[in-house]
Amino acid sequence: MKRRQSFVATLVASVSAVALFGSVTGGSLWFPPAQAQEKKLVMGTSPDYPPYEFYDTSGGQEKIVGFDVDIANYIGEKLGYEIEISGMDFNGLIPALQAKRVDFVMAGMTPTEERKQNVDFSDIYFEAKNTIVAKKGSNFKTAADLSGKKVGVQLGTIQEGDAKDIAEKDTTVQVVSLNKVGEIVQEIKAGRIDAAIIEDTVAAGFTTSNPDLEFNVIPSEGPSGSAVAFPKGSDALVAEFNKVLAEMKESGELEKLVLKWFGEGVSQ
Ligand code: ARG
């Protein structure tokens, strides 16, 4: 009996010691939350860019969805990472990588030489072309057609660079840089700007939902297409992503997602 009592006493003492210690440490030392052991990567994106990435509000809450999100989740699943998505303006994405606030960026981002000085890129996973979007009937087909016009572009994009190059040669062209592509589209509709330079698949979507607008593909030199961006020095992660991207191209998984988001007629 004596023995049993002391056993109970010891048990009570140790349980309360654990409870005390647990409360001091917030329980984390004894029972680490399962989540803390899972690998997680934060993806930065600029969700103003359907069908690459945009807010889906249909479920009553705002969720970032799109082509890039599906690719990221597929890669995450293959490599054993949970993917968390962080939305911000396009112009803030490279600074976010440099400050390591995000682990990678997928935002229809083109791997330019200038960006390569600050971030690492994966292989290109989707090609793109530039277009001029304007009110129906404008018929802007080349840079020369933009003479004397106000041209909208997204801040920090290659389209902004292209528009600035055009404006440098023809000083009657006025470049208007805005944070979100949707804002640019609204400015054209309101007649505050005459045109915008937007990439083909995005322009196709916006002109379908805004039948008062049209787009024409323009010849463009320089880099195009999308790649995943990482903080500088991410060689191991870049290699892991490239491996899955290559598998996705090989297996037809990527083509499946192209069809899902860009529809028939768009093939790489
Ligand atoms: N491809 C262009 C660039 O890299 C535009 C990308 C814009 N992306 C976005 N999610 N708004 O500059």
pLDDT band at 166 (very low <50, low <70, confident <90, very high): very high
Q: How far is the C-alpha of 227 from the C-alpha of 119, rounded, in Å?
A: 11
> How far, in Å, from the CA of 180 to the mean position of ligand 1?
10
pLDDT of residue 210: 97
Share of the chain above pLDDT 90, in %: 79
Decide if pLDDT at 11 tops 50: no
For 95-151, the pLDDT digits (tens) are 999 999 999 999 999 999 999 999 999 999 999 999 999 999 999 999 999 999 999
Contact 131, 199 (CB under 8 A): yes
Phi, psi of 258, deg, nearest 5: -60, -45
Region 186-208 average pLDDT: 97
pLDDT bracket for residue 219 (50, 70, 90) = confident
Instruction: Give the residues across from 153 on adjacent strands.
Output: 177
Query: pLDDT tens digits for 13-33?
Result: 444 444 444 444 444 455 555
Residue 263 has what pLDDT? 87
Q: How far is the CA of 154 from the centre of ligand 1 (A)?
A: 8
The closest alpha carbon to 158, from 118, 128, 184, 188, belongs to 128
Say if residue 265's pLDDT is above 90. no
> Does 121 sit in the ligand 1 pocket, CB within 6 Å?
no
Please give the model's pTM, rounded to 2 decimal places. 0.85
Angle at 20 between CA 16 and CA 26, to 5 degrees: 135
Mean pLDDT value of segment 211-234: 93
**Looking at residue 37, what is its pLDDT?**
52
Q: Per the structure block, which two tokens stand in for 169?
A: 């040669």
pLDDT tens readout for residues 42-88: 999 999 999 999 999 988 888 999 999 999 999 999 999 999 999 99
pLDDT greater than 60 at residue 36 = no
CA distance 4 to 234: 60
User: Measured from the CB, is residue 68 less than 6 Å from ligand 1?
Assistant: no
Average pLDDT, the chain: 89
Is residue 90 in contact with ligand 1, taking CB distance under 6 Å? yes
**Are residues 146 and 166 in contact, defined by beta-carbon separation less than 8 angstroms?**
yes
Alpha carbon of 157 to ligand 1 centroid (Å): 5
> What pLDDT, on a 0 to 100 scale, did the predictor assign at position 31?
54
**In this predicted structure, what is the pLDDT of residue 223?**
85
Whether ligand 1 lies within 6 angstroms of the CB of 66 is answered as no
- Taking residues 221-250, report their average pLDDT: 96
* Distance between CA atoms of residues 21 and 103, nearest Å: 34
Residue 266 has what pLDDT?
60
Token digits for 40? 């997680």
Distance 15 CA to ligand 1 centre (A): 57
Convert the chain into a string of H (helix), E (strand) and C (coil).
CHHHHHHHHHHHHHHHHHHHHHHHHCCCCCCCCHHHHCCEEEEEECCEECCCEEEECCCCCCEEECHHHHHHHHHHHHHCCEEEEEECCHHHHHHHHHCCCCCEECCCCCCCHHHHCCEEEEEEEECCCEEEEEECCCCCCCHHHHCCCEEEEECCCHHHHHHHHHHHHCCCCEEEEECCHHHHHHHHHCCCCCEEEEEHHHHHHHHHHCCCEEEEECCCCCCCCEEEEEECCCHHHHHHHHHHHHHHHHHCHHHHHHHHHHCCCCCC
Q: Is 157 in the pocket of ligand 1 (CB under 6 A)?
A: yes
* Angle at 117 (CA atoms; ends 177, 176), nearest 5 degrees: 5
5 vs 40: CA distance, rounded Å: 48
